[in-house]
Structure 1
Amino acid sequence: MKIKNINKIIVSALLFGTLAVSCLSKSKDTTEVSSAPAQLALTPPMGWNSFDSYGVYLHEEAAMANLEAFAEKLKPHGYEYFVIDAGWFGEFKLQEGTLYPAEKHAVKLNFNEYGLLQPSKTYFPNGLQPIIDRCHELGLKFGIHLMRGIPRAAFEANTKVKGTKYFAQDIADTTSICEWNHQNFGVDMSKPGAQEFYNSLINQMADWGVDFLKYDDLVPFPEEVEAIANAIEQCGRPIVYSLSPGGDVDVNAIKSFKRANMLRVTHDIWDDQIGLNQCFAAWRKWQGHEKPGFWIDMDMIPFGQLQLMSPKPEGVIGNETKKEILKKIETGELSNIELLSGKGWTRQSNFTKDQMYTFITLRALSASPLMMGGDLPTLDNFSLELITNKDVLECNQNGIMGSLIYDKEGIEIWKTPKKDGEGGWIGIFNRSKEIKSIHVAYKELGLDSTTDYSIINIWDKTKIDLPDDFAINSNGVVFIKYLSK
């Protein structure tokens, strides 16, 4: 026992020394730091995020239930990051006698004397520490969501920036406000105390035991992207850094983005064809930008039960658009309805099986991080089989974004080679609205006709002999694994 303890002390000292030397060398000239730490996220991160299933209203009981289900269902397959999304600091008004929210974003936030957010007493009465500790006990890593900037309420209270002579009103940029969440002001990084504020916030996260940060409303602000990267590097704890939201991302800021480990390049992706189309468009735009330690992120996997904190109100059919709902509210046809965070109402994912096959095949071939979004305790077997399929995981963790090698009459063929050795994976996608037939030979699949291959149809679990004919459903896919004999 004593020998083991001595060994632990020696290893800890060596790790600390290495980290200290690394931080000192970086501090000499931070302009030289242009990429995420090499030891983090060497393959696309895999985990669960609470947003698709709970919006910004995850509560203690649901968090614990999902954590236990995560350890049972996902951990054996390599998933490791358990991420609580936004709202964990909000003292929400609730619908009477329930845990359901009565407001989209909490007006009242819980923060300390330094303007640092604290766990909601409404949804996390025991704080986050029991959840974080249980996460680590299970051999998993804990993640949390943060919004860019400093709480507007902290600005109004003019809280002190920890360890400095500055205050919130000295560093806030009151003209920089998120379009869809008005809880924060941006931070003016030209002001004294600005970096120290981010340092204090990230140091708190490190003290709690946070292993993964999803930072929102950040992509359009490269100076704050880098400020948070600097804060993470000085905190003394390895933390995976994920940039969000996606949408219109400036490729010219790629140097700043590569200070992080993940870059969202889509809007929120939900269980509809629009989301699938956005992922394909992002794949075309960003292929080739990935590398170990930096991954192109196409948002979460909306399988299973979604929007559990948004039960469908009376008078709502369920398939109305947001504009239609707002019009009914304005005319008085609907009343006492709050349009909450997320999209739609409580439901099982609306994806068809073909769309689900296409979605997860795309994620495998594009090496996008696999962050499950649906509720884990109630997860259906088909969804679980897809997200834990060994070929999906092998292809995804291969870490190479596939390339488009064929695009004709609604059929797209994407190919991802193995990074080590011969072989790889191919997806034949039918992007059209009708069944398509395609005759496929070696040329269409980008394969050498003089090489003898073993070719497997992953979803059908059958061998393929080329040339072959495929009839593919609308929005369906043939997922192929090939290996030279």
Structure 2
Amino acid sequence: MIRPVIALMLLMLVAPPGAYASAAAPDPLLGSWVFDDPPSYPGVTMMQVERIDGAIRGTLTTRWYGAIAMRDATSDGRTLSFTIRNLNDRGHPTRRWTASVDGGVLHLTGDIWYAHTAQAGRRGSAAEVRARTFHPAGPLPALRAPADDGLARTPPMGWSSWNKFGEHIDDATIRAMADALVTTGLRDAGYIYVNIDDGWQGERDAAGRLQPNARFPDMKALADYVHARGLKLGLYTSPGPRTCAGYVGSYGHVHQDAATFAAWGVDYLKYDLCSGEWFYDDADSVRRVYQEMGAALRASGRPIVYSLCEYGRFDVADWGRAVGGHLWRTTGDITDDYKTMSDIGFVRNPRFPHAGPGGWNDPDMLEVGNGGMSEDEYRTHLTLWAIQAAPLMMGHDLRQTSRTALAMLANREVVAVDQDALGAQGGPLLRSDGLEIWTKPLSGAGQAVALFNRTDAAATISVPESIAAGRLRDLWRGIDVPATTRHFAVPAHGAVLLRTVAG
């Protein structure tokens, strides 16, 4: 039997430099740590650290972004310091994090996007590590353009929950919105989609099937209710592990979710990049991940209008149709104020080409009725969306639609400009000192002419005969104007919408 002292001397003689120090004082930060009650964002559930060839390697496993690799990691045996990619914050593409151990408790701190994280963790068992391990989805499919499926021949029209309700929605509210579409006459004006945005999702069952949360006890029954009123039902999900509001996304379950949506009777799907930004951050991967869901919807056997929501990145209008899309967002989220609405409508959306039957540029939902803008500003909002053949998705509480808002939204002549069968996207023709004239070709050799006053004072805008010879009809007032009339008073932040009249 070798005495302990002799064994220690032998170890010191044969071990490589530094090995004895590691054995005597191992880095307490190495190994797997788990967090029992992580915050909702980014939801760090595990930290794993190892030393390979003298270099520290590690990952943070999160609910939102899967496994986040540590970069430039260093450890002095007491504190681990590393950076992570910070994709959503363009001004800070990386962030520095630290971890330290005190009394067997790991203290992790750091920042990502809008959130500061300070979590306490403990050593994890092998079973806990297995349960928290993130499993990446398989490779994305090769690009292959689908055949035209005949859907969305005109811009989709309807209602969506997000602008008014955010994630605070339930079955009863959606049924009430469906009823209100009927009783207000908005359904008969063309608004037929009832779209449930973020906040309906629950968890997955043992077979991986996504279930609605407790606020939506039976999604198939809800779809049947909506369909019975001559309307169509829309849903929302994300290609990432989490949606924008933190609910379960479709990552790793794309075809399964598409089949589930079809079985429920869903007619429209909004696919919002959200946490998918972490995994799909270049033009090729974004195209492929949107094609993946597009193909899955086609394979489901149910005709489903497909709305791409990746905020206008990578020239989406150039390839939206080729991945199965019927409309694609051209911008970030709209808010209920004139500045944001006008920036989107006058500047952002007009940059995108290729709109037409089966595929539309989407400058986001309507704010009419939510109260943040004046009547003239809302009239500009609707005129801009109509002249650009944009989808018309209302976003207010339909039960509280004022007479003024209802008159604007249900104006059949304005809606007809948006829904014109030619499907041309109108655009600016003349711009001068905040006054603008836009035109839009219409079927039957007609033309729509929009006059915009972006200034803070009322102004007169004159329509040249070269733009619209002959008689004109004022669509907001619902009257034909005399053939000699070419000068129109336009209020501050207001609009006039005209249409040529044959004969």
Task: Identify the TM-score tier after normalising by the shorter chain.
Answer: 0.5 to 0.7
Partner of 1:164: none
**How far apart are residue 285 of structure 1 and its match?**
0.2
Partner of 2:110: none
Partner of 1:374: 396
Partner of 2:347: 281
Partner of 1:272: 337
Could you tell me which runs of 5 or more consecutive residues in structure 2 were left unpaired when the two chains were aligned: 1-140
Letter in 1 for 2:235: I
Counterparts of 1:309-458 in structure 2, within 5 Å, are 348-398=370-420, 399-419=423-443, 421-443=444-466, 446-448=467-469, 453-458=470-475
Partner of 2:205: 112
CA–CA distance in 1 between the matches of 2:264 and 2:474? 46
Could you tell me which runs of 5 or more consecutive residues in structure 1 were left unpaired when the two chains were aligned: 1-28, 90-108, 152-177, 188-193, 305-347
Aligned equivalent of 1:461, options 478, 490, 501:
478
CA–CA distance in 1 between the matches of 2:182 and 2:206? 36
- Check the 8 A contact 2:143/2:291 in 1, yes or no: no
Q: Which runs of 4+ in 1 moved over 4 A?
A: 29-32, 180-187
CA–CA distance in 1 between the matches of 2:404 and 2:177? 18
- Check the 8 A contact 2:341/2:381 in 1, yes or no: no
**How far apart are residue 182 of structure 1 and its match?**
5.0
Partner of 2:230: 139
- Check the 8 A contact 2:449/2:497 in 1, yes or no: yes
**How far apart are residue 207 of structure 1 and its match?**
0.7
- Check the 8 A contact 1:457/1:464 in 2, yes or no: no
Relative to structure 1, the CA distance from residue 237 to residue 458 in structure 2 (aligned partners, 3 Å threshold; closer, same or farther) is same
Are 2:187 and 1:75 equivalent residues in the alignment?
Answer: yes
CA–CA distance in 2 between the matches of 1:365 and 1:252? 21
CA–CA distance in 1 between the matches of 2:246 and 2:332? 18
- Check the 8 A contact 1:34/1:255 in 2, yes or no: no
SS across alignment from 1:110: strand
Partner of 1:84: 196
**How far apart are residue 437 of structure 1 and its match?**
2.5
Partner of 2:269: 213
- Check the 8 A contact 1:38/1:292 in 2, yes or no: no
- Check the 8 A contact 2:320/2:328 in 1, yes or no: no
Partner of 2:48: none
Partner of 2:315: 251
**How far apart are residue 257 of structure 1 and its match?**
5.1
- Check the 8 A contact 1:88/1:119 in 2, yes or no: yes
CA–CA distance in 2 between the matches of 1:466 and 1:409? 25
**How far apart are residue 456 of structure 1 and its match?**
1.4
Q: Show CA shifts across 1:447-483 (max 9, x none).
A: 35xxxx2211222334143453333221111111112
Structure in which a larger fraction of residues adopt helix: 1
CA–CA distance in 2 between the matches of 1:114 and 1:79? 36
**How far apart are residue 150 of structure 1 and its match?**
3.5
Tell me the number of residue pairs that the alignment of Structure 1 and Structure 2 aligns.
348
**How far apart are residue 42 of structure 1 and its match?**
0.6
**How far apart are residue 31 of structure 1 and its match?**
4.7
CA–CA distance in 2 between the matches of 1:427 and 1:181? 37
- Check the 8 A contact 2:317/2:354 in 1, yes or no: no
RMSD, matched Cα: 2.3
CA–CA distance in 1 between the matches of 2:207 and 2:224? 24
Are 2:491 and 1:473 equivalent residues in the alignment?
Answer: yes
Partner of 1:313: none
**How far apart are residue 425 of structure 1 and its match?**
0.9
Structure possessing the higher radius of gyration over alpha carbons: 2
- Check the 8 A contact 2:317/2:361 in 1, yes or no: no
- Check the 8 A contact 1:440/1:466 in 2, yes or no: no
CA–CA distance in 1 between the matches of 2:459 and 2:346? 18
CA–CA distance in 1 between the matches of 2:271 and 2:159? 16
CA–CA distance in 1 between the matches of 2:250 and 2:391? 28
- Check the 8 A contact 1:439/1:470 in 2, yes or no: yes
CA–CA distance in 2 between the matches of 1:252 and 1:478? 31
Identical residues among aligned pairs (%):
29
CA–CA distance in 2 between the matches of 1:265 and 1:371? 15
CA–CA distance in 2 between the matches of 1:229 and 1:483? 41
CA–CA distance in 2 between the matches of 1:253 and 1:438? 32
Relative to structure 1, the CA distance from residue 279 to residue 113 in structure 2 (aligned partners, 3 Å threshold; closer, same or farther) is farther
Relative to structure 1, the CA distance from residue 244 to residue 464 in structure 2 (aligned partners, 3 Å threshold; closer, same or farther) is farther
CA–CA distance in 1 between the matches of 2:462 and 2:176? 48
**How far apart are residue 127 of structure 1 and its match?**
2.2
Partner of 1:344: none
Higher relative contact order (CA 8 A, sep 6+): 1
- Check the 8 A contact 1:49/1:372 in 2, yes or no: yes
Structure in which a larger fraction of residues adopt strand: 2
CA–CA distance in 1 between the matches of 2:246 and 2:196? 20
SS across alignment from 1:118: strand
Structure-1-length-normalised TM-score? 0.67
Counterparts of 1:149-164 in structure 2, within 5 Å, are 149-150=240-241
SS across alignment from 1:48: strand
